[in-house]
């Protein structure tokens, strides 16, 4: 038995069996050698299938749920997994705007079986790497209690008549013989759309950088990264925040962040407050 397991929730029908056997299970088996991929109809277990499904959800590390046809059994199992605090990766054949509001404001991976499930495996792989596999790299992350900027920071602001909530989780990791900062960010727009960005250290901004006058006060470091989002592509470019610059010197306990605005190409400065986890 492998140390982690993924339980797949979807209807037991021919079209979804194709999604599972040709796209989800091969991805897990080929790309993640420490994760088992399980669907209930593969388990030769006696007793109530209902109870067996709940047992598998209890046991699993995370869930992949295909909510394409809004199946009642799928929604029940998703609700149970949610109540158990499981990480759920939603996938959907179609436009996520057609989903019920309680799901379409979450991160959902779109695919289209009519064009060959384009991008499903690649996006699933990235989401698992960022959200599930962080524990694989814990040996490279150093303790952060003595580093002022490490931890979780939040800011809510208005831009272009949209409400943005940005959460930054800053930590350090070992790259070769050095330790560098890294960030996981979550950006919510109007509590409806979500953008997830793992951000990697991109160097120090100083007097030798472009627009040097911006970086005279403090010690600024830059982060860039790619994104996974439930925004459909035609809208993503309007909302994406390209990069972040962090001042490593706190100001009255606040984290000073300059955000590259993709739409207007401006560098906007915000004060982030530390988020205290319960």
Angle at 165 between CA 163 and CA 167, to 5 degrees: 170
In three state form, how does the secondary structure of 76-128 look?
Answer: HHHHHHHHCCCEEEEEEECCHHHCCHHHHCCCEEEECHHHCCCCHHHHHHHHH
Dist CA 43 CA 49 (whole Å): 10
Domain 4-136, CATH among 3.40.50.450, 3.40.50.920, 2.40.128.20, 1.10.260.40? 3.40.50.450
The reported pLDDT for the residue numbered 271 is 95
The reported pLDDT for the residue numbered 29 is 87
pLDDT, tens digit, 9 for 90 and up, residues 4-41: 899 999 988 888 898 999 889 998 988 888 899 999 87
Question: Judging by DSSP bridges, how do beta strands 241-247 and 255-261 pair with one another?
Answer: antiparallel
The reported pLDDT for the residue numbered 239 is 54
Per domain, the residue ranges of the chain are 4-136, 141-274
Q: Write down how long the chain is.
A: 278
* Cα four-point dihedral sign 99, 104, 109, 110: positive
CB 111 within 8 A of CB 93: yes
Dist CA 135 CA 41 (whole Å): 29
pLDDT, tens digit, 9 for 90 and up, residues 188-222: 777 666 677 677 777 666 544 555 555 555 578 87
The reported pLDDT for the residue numbered 137 is 40
- Listed as ranges, residues in the chain with pLDDT below 50 are 135-145, 207-208, 228-234, 278
């Amino acid at each position: 038995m492998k140390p982690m397991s993924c339980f797949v929730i979807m209807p037991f029908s021919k079209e979804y069996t194709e999604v599972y056997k040709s796209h989800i299970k091969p991805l897990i088996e080929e790309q993640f050698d420490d994760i088992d991929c399980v669907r209930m109809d593969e388990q030769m277990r006696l007793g109530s299938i209902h109870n067996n499904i709940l047992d598998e959800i209890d046991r699993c590390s995370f869930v992949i749920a295909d909510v394409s046809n809004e199946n009642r059994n799928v929604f029940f199992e998703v609700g149970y997994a949610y109540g158990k605090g499981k990480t759920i990766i939603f996938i959907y054949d179609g436009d996520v705007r057609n989903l019920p509001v309680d799901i379409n404001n979450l991160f959902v991976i779109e695919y289209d079986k009519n064009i060959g499930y384009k991008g499903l495996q690649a996006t699933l792989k990235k989401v698992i790497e960022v959200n599930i596999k962080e524990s694989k790299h814990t040996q490279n992350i150093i303790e952060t209690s003595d580093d002022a900027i490490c931890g979780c920071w939040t800011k809510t602001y208005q831009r272009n008549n949209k409400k943005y909530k940005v959460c930054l989780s800053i930590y350090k990791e070992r790259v070769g013989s050095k330790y560098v900062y890294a960030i996981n960010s979550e950006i919510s727009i109007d509590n409806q759309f979500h953008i997830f960005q793992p951000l990697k250290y991109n160097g120090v901004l100083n007097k030798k950088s472009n627009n040097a006058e911006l970086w005279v006060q403090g010690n600024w470091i830059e982060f860039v990264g790619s994104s996974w989002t439930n925004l459909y592509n035609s809208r993503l470019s309007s909302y994406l925040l390209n990069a972040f610059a962090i001042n490593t010197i706190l100001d009255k306990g606040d984290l000073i962040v300059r955000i590259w605005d993709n739409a207007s190409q401006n560098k906007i400065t915000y004060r982030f407050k530390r988020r205290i986890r319960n």
